Structure formats: structure tokens, C-alpha cells
Amino acid sequence: MRKLITVNFLWLILLAFSTSFADDGGIQSLKQTGKAFASVAKKVSPSVVFIQAESVSDSIDSSHFGSPFNDELLKRFFGDGIFTLPKRHPSMPKKRTQSQGSGFVFSLDKGIFSDKAYVLTNNHVVENADKLKVTLLDGREVQAHVKAADPKSDIAVLELAVKDVPALKLGDSKNLEVGEWVVAIGNPFGLSHTLTVGVVSAKGRTSLGINDYEDFIQTDAAINPGNSGGPLVNLDGEVVGINTAIFSQSRGYMGVGFAIPINMARGIAEQLLANGSVKRGYLGVVIQTMTPELAASFGSNVSKGILIAQVSANSPAGKAGLLQGDVVTHFQGREVSETGDFRNRVSLTMPGSRAELKLVRNGVELTKMVTIGELDEHPQLAAQPKTLNNSFGFTVQTVTPMLAEQFNIETGTGVVVTAVQDGSLASLAGISVGTIILEVNRQPVKNVDEFKSLVNESGASGKVLMLVSKDGMSRFLVLQH
């Protein structure tokens, strides 16, 4: 009995000691984490700048209506309609307005500009500004000017009037992992050199409608108005992204922020410094994501990839032999599955270079080499899915010479949607008057009788694969009744 009491007593002592040791170890671990963040702040902060942009505005002073911030900046983060200001009467003098943001000093690894330091920031921070003032960590205020900018990617490069500012090291955003610690440093609400900490929540966020070209890093590190253009860094103090925007429905931080990957920003900055503008690659195709429904309709076992819905005549894709209905599975040796990612990768490929595409055509795997063209600067229309047919809540008409002229198509090419019932499957799918139906179940349609016949042949499945066109842009889609 005495031995049992002694053993139990020893176990209690060991348990208490191990618990105390574990608690102490946990505290030490937290202290080390805190020291790591403090080290990042010391390393990075001297290179982070506070940007104040001044420009002439036609709007009335928003401070008279209870807003302490520039209304365009708020719209950037919280969307249009946050508040509306009265329009300036032509007889009233124009007002000079100020906006603010962040940036950081960087330098290129090689090339003729590698011996100089510039500031990298968002274009929306400095756009239309005729006067820029930059404040450094040591309190110095220096003048800056826009060296070059690319609104489509929201990247701008500034040149400072001083050169004795340390440059941050640019990391490799490709190696960034979801769950990895990241630190955002900037000037939210004008509070200079504020540090916030979080993790990488996701990568490759596209189609958010923020920029024309998107491949965002999503993070829960707090990003607010004024953080735009500041660096998102890893625990080594290397820049992995440029803080750009937040998602919010409450006009405040909600744990969802977005940053432009530094690999994308670096490539654009190099072109801006070398050429003053960005040259983007061009294939000449209209694309859409390959869904399981589309794969089943095509009789294909390829459920991932990019479906080519349209190939422009005399385009790089057309000259390389790409066809409507091809499914691209790889670009330059890497798998593709999202339209936004594919579009970005093509656009960042230098015009004139050769690119390898792997694709599937009618169940057969093919490899095509394409000479990438150069995208012109005219606005590119984004193709939107549209939809179709009588039993689905719309009516069609054979294309007459008058309709062919109205819709700029050839007589005998497809049928045109003339009416769409509100709340119908067609309406919900996005069908509108003027949509042209070119094919049904991969068969060309020339008139209403052919259209009805092919739809009726869809059988018991009720699924109909259609090729439709609106405003010159074609899309495949599947309807089921």
C-alpha cells in the first residue's frame, strides 16, 4: 500500500512538472513567433513608403458630406453606391483632391535598370495624379513621379527624387503555400507603417472583377483603405505580393484581402521600365471552362481543361490549326483548368515566342505549337455565357436578309432568338433577344425547322448541347428540360 502511494505521488510530481514545462514551452514558442514578426517589421519597414496623390477633381469636397476619405478610394474597397455626391456645377471651380496609399522600394535583379531603385505600387493609388509626395519611415518627405503604369493589371512604377532608400528583396510567389504566414505592411487610413499578420487563405483567385488580369493571393492579414500598393511579405522579409483590395459588405475589414502575386508584378514592372508599356500575348480564341456537363455532351472523358468555343480567322490559334471544340489541357508543360489562369499565362508570354499546347480533339490527344501574337490595346470584350430554345422559354426565327444585316451575320447561318420569357430557363441562363444559335448537338443549324428537329432528337435525356453567339462571341452550353 505504501509503495502504491509513493508511486502515485511520483506520478503526480512528474505530471505537474511536465505540465509546467509544456506551458513554459508554449509561451516560449509564442515569444519566438512574436520575435519573428518583429524581425520582419524591422527588415521591411524602411523600404515601405506612404504615398499621397493630389489631383484635380470635378466632384464637390466629400468632407462636407461626412466622409474623411477620398470617395474614389472608398469605392475601390467597398464598391460603387457607398454614397453619392452632388455633381459640380460648371460655374464652380474645380477642386484639388487627395488620395493615399502605400508602396515599397524595389530593384531589378538584372538588366540596365538593376542599379536603380524604384517604388512599386497599385496604379489606382496614383492614377490621374499630377502631384505625388512620398513619406519614408525616417520622416523624410520626397517628391515622386510615375515612371510607367499598367491599368489592366493595376501596377505602377514610381521614381523617387532620392536614392538612399533600401530596396526589398522580391520573393517567389509560385512557392507560396496556403496556410503559410504572411505579413502586410502599409498605411491604412493614413496610419503610417502599420503591420498586420495572417496566413495565405487561397491562391489563384480570378474573375473577381477587380482588374482586367487577375491571379490574386487571398489572405486574412488585415488590409484596409490605404494599404493598397503595400507589400505582402513572407517570414524571410521577401515580397510575395502587392496588397490591392478587400472584399467587404460592411465597409470594414472582414478577413478577406487580395494581393497581386509578385511574380506577375515583377514581369510587368520589368516591361514597364524597359518599354514604358506592357506587351501581352495573344492567341485569338474565345474560351470557357470544361464542365462535366459539357464533357458528357461532347462524349469526352476529359472533365478538366479549357474548351475553345471560337477561333478567330488568321489568328495565331487559327494558323496553328486549333479548332472550335478543342479542349486545351496543358500550356507550356503546365496543366490548365481555369479560364482566368490560362488567359493570364498566355498574356504574360512574350509575343513572337513559341508555345506548346496539349489538347484533346474528339477523344484524341494532340500537341500543337503556336507562335504567340501580340494583343492590341483595344478593349477586349469578355464572352459571357448565353442560352437558348422554345421549350426552354424562348422563340427563334430563321435569319432573313434583313436580320442578317441587323446582326452582321450571313443569311442561312443559325437561328436568331426573337423573344425570351421572364423567369424561364432561357432567361435564367442568360439568353437575350439577338442571341444566334449556330449548332445543336454539334450539328449546324440553318433554319427553324432544322433547329426544332435537332432539339427533338435530344431524346429522353432532355440535354441539348448548343453553340450560341452574341456580339460576335461564341459559347457552348448545355440546357436540360
3-class SS letters over the chain? CHHHHHHHHHHHHHHHHHHHHHHHHHHHHHHHHHHHHHHHHHHHHHHEEEEEEEEEECECCHHHHCCCCCHHHHHHHHCCCCCCCCECCCCCCCEEEEEEEEEEEECCCCCCCCCCCEEEEEHHHHCCCCEEEEECCCCCEEEEEEEEEECCCCEEEEEECCCCCCCECECCHHHCCCCCEEEEEECHHHCCCEEEEEEEEEEEECCCCCCCCCCEEEECCCCCCCCCCCEEECCCCCEEEEEEEECCCCCCCCCCEEEEEHHHHHHHHHHHHHHCCCCCEECCEEEEECCHHHHHHHCCCCCCCEEEEEECCCCHHHHCCCCCCCEEEEECCEECCCHHHHHHHHHCCCCCCEEEEEEEECCEEEEEEEECEECCCCCCCCCCCCCCCHHHCEEEEECCHHHHHHHCCCCCCCEEEEEECCCCHHHHHCCCCCCEEEEECCEECCCHHHHHHHHHCCHHHCEEEEEEEECCEEEEEEEEC
Q: Out of 71, 154, 215, 326, which one is annotated catalytic?
A: 154
Residue 109 a catalytic site member:
no
C-alpha span between 428 and 423 (Å, rounded)? 6
Backbone angles phi, psi at 312, to 5 degrees: -70, 145
Q: Which three cell numbers stand for residue 227?
A: 494599404
Backbone angles phi, psi at 281, to 5 degrees: -70, 155
Q: Out of 62, 153, 173, 228, which one is annotated catalytic?
A: 228
Q: Which three cell numbers stand for residue 3?
A: 509503495
Residue 154 a catalytic site member:
yes
Residue 124 a catalytic site member:
yes
Active site positions, annotated: 124, 154, 228
